[in-house]
Structure 1
Amino acid sequence: MRTFENRMRDEHSVRLAVGLTGYSLQIPAEDILAATQRDHRIVRARQVAMYLSHVGLGMSLARVADAMGRDRSTVAHGCHKIEDYRDDPDVDEWLDGLESQLKNVSGLLGRPPRSSAINP
């Protein structure tokens, strides 16, 4: 059984992926997370964020689905779509860059700050 803290951590992790994706594509995070947004660009951005959460952060499809308020099959479909786009070297390079940035930021945020950084 997943705890409240684990669910909140997953939601924050997904929001990090959504924020990075939105920044990169110049799409507001709120639009990417909105359940009613079906515009092609926004759907693709949502799929990228799902993919990054799954691959970049190592979250299961079910956890990504729960954190985004989607069905697991929707997340699986989105991840497969983005994986297909990786055949394009430019897209592959772009996704590698986003994945690397996401891992770096999530690693920094996952560690408690050193006491010397808080108390100079």
Structure 2
Amino acid sequence: MAPRRSDQFLSSALCVAAAAAACGVPPDALRSARRGRANVAGARHLAVYLDHVAFGASLSACARAFARDRASIRHACARVEDRRDEENFDRAVAALEQALRAQRRLIETIAFSFSSHPTGDDS
């Protein structure tokens, strides 16, 4: 089953926040239509990669979420994958993947709780 748009928004938003924090750039810069400086482009590459790899978003879904074309998304993923040969970078990306999956599970659990009891009471 294809992920719902709200699920895709959640995963890309989590990836943007994580990559921006890890790279020390403002999250809004990653969503900009402009390429930006090298550090912003690198952070965007990381966010795209995390969305594609950690959450299984398709290249097309990533392209929509980040307002890029599929070729740019493929390029971003390849750039990050090439850097994973560096031990420290690989360890950091693996930790981000694990943390993002845990964060998403937590948010989904909370969202399910709200949808089961929208008023907050158990009656």
- Shorter-chain TM range is 0.7 to 0.9
Residue in structure 2 matched with residue 113 of structure 1 by the alignment: 113
> Superposed, which structure 2 residues align to 1:44-59 within 5 Å?
44-59=42-57
TM-score with structure 1 length normalisation?
Answer: 0.87
Query: Partners in 2 of 1:37 and 1:59 — Cα distance?
Result: 22
Taking the aligned partners of 1:67 and 1:10, their CA distance within structure 2 comes to 8
Q: What fraction of aligned residue pairs are identical, expressed as a percent?
A: 28
- 1: CA distance, partners of 2:66 / 2:52: 12
| In structure 2, distance between residues paired with 1:8 and 1:38 | 27
Q: Is the 8 A contact 2:29 2:36 kept in 1?
A: no
Give runs of aligned pairs for residues 1-120 of structure 1, distance below 5 A: 6-111=4-109, 112-113=112-113, 118-119=120-121
Unaligned runs of 5+ in 2: none
SS of the residue 2:113 aligns to: coil
Q: What CA RMSD, in Å, does the superposition of the two structures yield over aligned residues?
A: 1.9
2: CA distance, partners of 1:62 / 1:69: 10
Q: Work out the CA distance in 2 between the residues paired with 1:48 and 1:23.
A: 11
Asked whether the 8 Å contact 1:17–1:102 carries over to 2, the reply is yes
Distance apart, 1:119 and its partner CA: 4.4
Q: What is the TM-score normalised by the length of structure 2? A: 0.85
After the TM superposition, which segments of 4 or more aligned residues of structure 1 sit over 2 Å from their partners? 5-9
Say which is worse superposed, 74-83 or 26-35, in terms of deviation: 26-35
